[in-house]
Structures are given as structure tokens and as C-alpha cells.
Amino acid sequence: MPKATKAAQDFVPFEEIRDGTMILRDGAMRAVLMTSSVNFSLKSEDEQLALLRQFQNFLNTLEFSIQIFIQSRRLDIRPYIALLEDRLRQQLEDLLKIQTREYIEFIRNFTENSEIMTKVFFVIIPYQPPLIGAGAQSGVVAGLFKQKKEETREGHEKKVEAFEENQTQLTQRVSVVEQGLQRMGIRTVRLGTEELIEVFYKIFNPGELDKPMVLQQK
């Protein structure tokens, strides 16, 4: 009997995404910052040393761990080619038409023969909520927004309140990381729910660009 093939979503390590926060299956919470980058090789030796010291100081100030994730993808040139072809159709002068057509062919051939990569940088910030009771195996936010039939409304409201408190703790950590990175000239933005879904969709579906992955979005 052939084994059933698991869908990509079966390997997603979190239970749901809510308010820009990933809730893992064990109840842990994660926030994700997308950051700009610094071209270290173009800096002078003194600037490089200064950046290294700033980064070292930043790490030393943290009282929690962080993860740095780099997403590398081949540059999708198709939207740019489509824009050029649209301008070609609107062009009235014959000489400019020829030049535009030659430029389109140059860009198409160049990108087909060269691996042009884009890189996106992320910082993942964790928070582990307190456990419920001594024998609990998951945090207070595990299954938070799926009210069970036997659960009272009061109990469900307490879980929601606990999530908001834990969200505040996570946000404070995010602020610490943002401030530390900004001192090094690195811009940051916290990903919201839709952006997180897009990131994971691209990770698990590298060949598909249009259809988003269906996750629990609230």
C-alpha cells in the first residue's frame, strides 16, 4: 500500500498566526522582523571594526536568544519584462521601438544565463509563556483561540487575556532588538499576519507565486 504524501503545511511548525505573532504547537510565541542589510565589504577597516563592536554589544545586551534567517531566491525578472513589453507596445517612434526590443532581449538573455539572487534578512524573536500547572506540556496560548465545547466562556476569556499579556512581553523584546539594530544603521519592520503567511508560502512553495498558502488567520 503506497504511503500517503504529506502536504507542505504538515511540516509547518506552528499552530496559527495571530496579530503578527506565530504561535508554535508547544505554545511558544515568535515575532519576525524583516531588516535591511549592510554591505560590510565596502566599509573601511575602521568602519568594519566599529560595526563588529556594535554587533557584539548588541548581542551582549540581549537576555534572550534570537535567530537570524536569510532567504535567498532567484530574481523574478518577469514583472520587469512585462513592464518593458507594455512600454514597447505604446512606443510610437521606430528607433525607440528597436532599442527597447533589443534591451528586452538583452535583459532576458542576461538573466537566463546568470544566477541573479535576491536576499531578504529576518530576525526571529522568541517568547515562551509560563506553563499551565506542573504537568502542562504546552504554553497558555496553545490552542488559544479554539474554544473547546467543554470550556467555559470565562476560561476562554482568561486564555485570551493571557495571550495579550504574553504579546506585550514579546513586543518589549521586539523593541529591544529593533533599537539595537538601528544603532548599526539597520532598518527594521515587524511582519504582520499577511506578511508572515507570504514568507512561509514562498518557503514551502518556491515554484508558485500567485496562490497563497491557507493558514489559520484571525
Candidate from 5-19, 31-45, 114-128 with smallest mean pLDDT: 5-19
130/173 same-domain check = yes
Task: State the pLDDT confidence band at 204, using cuts at 50, 70 and 90.
Answer: confident
Residue 87's domain spans which residues?
A: 76-115
Task: List Cα–Cα distances, 174 to 15, 31, 66, 129, 191, in angstroms.
Answer: 21, 7, 10, 15, 11
Domain-ending residue, one of 65, 91, 115:
115
55/96 same-domain check = no
Decide if 150 is inside a domain.
yes
CA distance 211 to 2: 28
152/200 same-domain check = yes
96/158 same-domain check = no
- Run of H or E including 35: strand 29-35
The domain tally of the chain equals 2
- Give the model confidence (pLDDT) of 83-140 as tens digits: 999 999 988 888 988 999 999 999 888 888 777 778 889 999 999 987 654 444 444 4
86/192 same-domain check = no
CA distance 149 to 160: 16
81/188 same-domain check = no
Amino acid 136: pLDDT: 44
128/197 same-domain check = yes
- Give the model confidence (pLDDT) of 140-151 as tens digits: 455 555 555 555
Decide if 158 is inside a domain.
yes
Decide if 44 is inside a domain.
yes
133/194 same-domain check = yes
Q: Are 91 and 217 in contact (CB under 8 A)?
A: no
91/52 same-domain check = no
Q: Are 12 and 214 in contact (CB under 8 A)?
A: no
State if pTM tops 0.75. no
